[in-house]
Structure 1
């Protein structure tokens, strides 16, 4: 299966310019391609993952990917898909974001491949030194105002308003494609479906500046969820690729909770499982949806891809411990991940404290009377062990690595005691 056939099977082709020409060049040559990532935060999120993995798919097929960090365009702001102007970040902030994103991209692409090593580029290298006269005469002259106004990224913002700063974004991104074409021989740009206008504008700029140029554009569908909610968002916020912002356990849980209607599509988008493997999982899911085999496979594959085998094992261990109640088997680091969002109380008292007193001071139970009832009724568990002795004392032996005690009230309400 060719790379284009694989992308088509996975539903990863939204639009493509000159598909026959692209198919021919991919069959006969090693093609350089790029995808851009603007540093609008200090981490990429899972919405970026489809583009990153598409670069990887092309590299596995023998082509050479360039991951472009938008150190310059990140200072401007892309109007595509936005209803209002972005907040502009300072140069220092964008440089910091760019550095973080470079490190993340290097985890997915092979920069040491013998025949087709991946490359990292930063468009600040050529846009940062661009003077205004050159920009207006040599680049801006190639863009008609009517042509730019007709683009969806601009049209969608005309009523709400768009600044000249964001209006010029299309020109700068087009210039990226021209520079990469001239300097690196880059023939293909890929991006989300909202980037179609920017990509075709780049092709037009190349056509006007390079005789007999052969360049191509391909867009990927934006990821959606069947229930209508936004992909990559939870009640806790965005799902980031940085484990300090979204722990591997939270990351794993996001994929485990994938809707049945979405899971096969996400297996195609986000994993490197073969067509046969995905079809087998689809048959299993239809036969026994309650086992959630497809979701478990998706969570395992993507967590391992983003965070590595060790973090995957840790995420599975936390999930299993929480399901079985074997809290005492977890390390302090695993407790931090698994109970990141539960109510917590910082205890600074004596080494030993009565369980009733601890329940009241941490507001787990509203009163001593209720605390005694909760204990006597078997509603209180400490580190996964049910305690029904009203006079029980919490000692240092109940502290996991001297840092935490996990208390559960009822079946699902967890509380974290910090020392």
Structure 2
């Protein structure tokens, strides 16, 4: 049995490697070398990037996957091709350098900043909403991966925010899982410090944190530390979005409890077919990963309801991601939800994910029996588990069932 399990694990790693290598194939090195050529109808995204990585010696790489001394800050401007030339949800990597801005992402400028000039950047880039979106990437990400992916998310979501990226030392290798995990621990203090600085800035109105994969561990740990040091998470940090969180469910329960009663709103993106999290589960003692649970099943259903955590189940959603680990960024519907509703802390219900007025749909994504007369089965690529709206859905369905039942009874009497 042990040999079979070992073979299965090696086979999973091999399949994962093939998927990662095919995704990285054809990317030139040095995409962050600035170029001044721009094309009509392109868009520009300015990102403030803070990192705990060590500077790289290779031009256009900027920062390596090794650990640096202290945090460094850089402003990077990215050109994004016209929407007519690209698929929403995808990063169009250059096939060669210099990039073709008409159809590929391109770096326009790279400006190292001091803490003082970084403070000035924030003042210049805050919108009327005064919102800041902080993105924390996941496992197996190079510096340029994180920069280009975040620029894509900001552009495609049309989020009304000042975008801030926190990138930690990941070696960008499928074989460096343990190193990457320790690098998140190495970066906890730096992320906590950055979040505290943002929250204390009088120009900032509110902060949303969006973390992917292993970056979720780093994010929740930093918030846990802040709550322990300060007695609570800074009030301006109002929303936390965890996409495909690579988190042990038992550990997350303890982390969440440590945040105290005055914690931010939490939204999770989960997918039971996430191949990357399946491998993570195998090498982490076969404990469920938070990003792979079924929110309709116990004990998760009750625990999410008690905690007030909203869960968007993307299992049925199909994208071009071979690992099903990046659906949150590659689905046009999901990135629009992020930009239009989640960052503003608004409730997401079935009407926002394409279910329209079909009242048979409920937040748990299950079929409903209406008044014992009709059963409505719902098929949707995104199911929403929202404890706050479950009751209102149930009441609506119950009222509809009563109305249908009364109609049937009346008709039978006639």
Q: Which has the higher contact order (CA 8 A, sep 6+)?
A: 1
Instruction: Please state which structure has a larger fraction of its residues in strand.
Output: 2
TM-score normalized by the length of structure 1: 0.23
TM-score normalized by the length of structure 2: 0.23
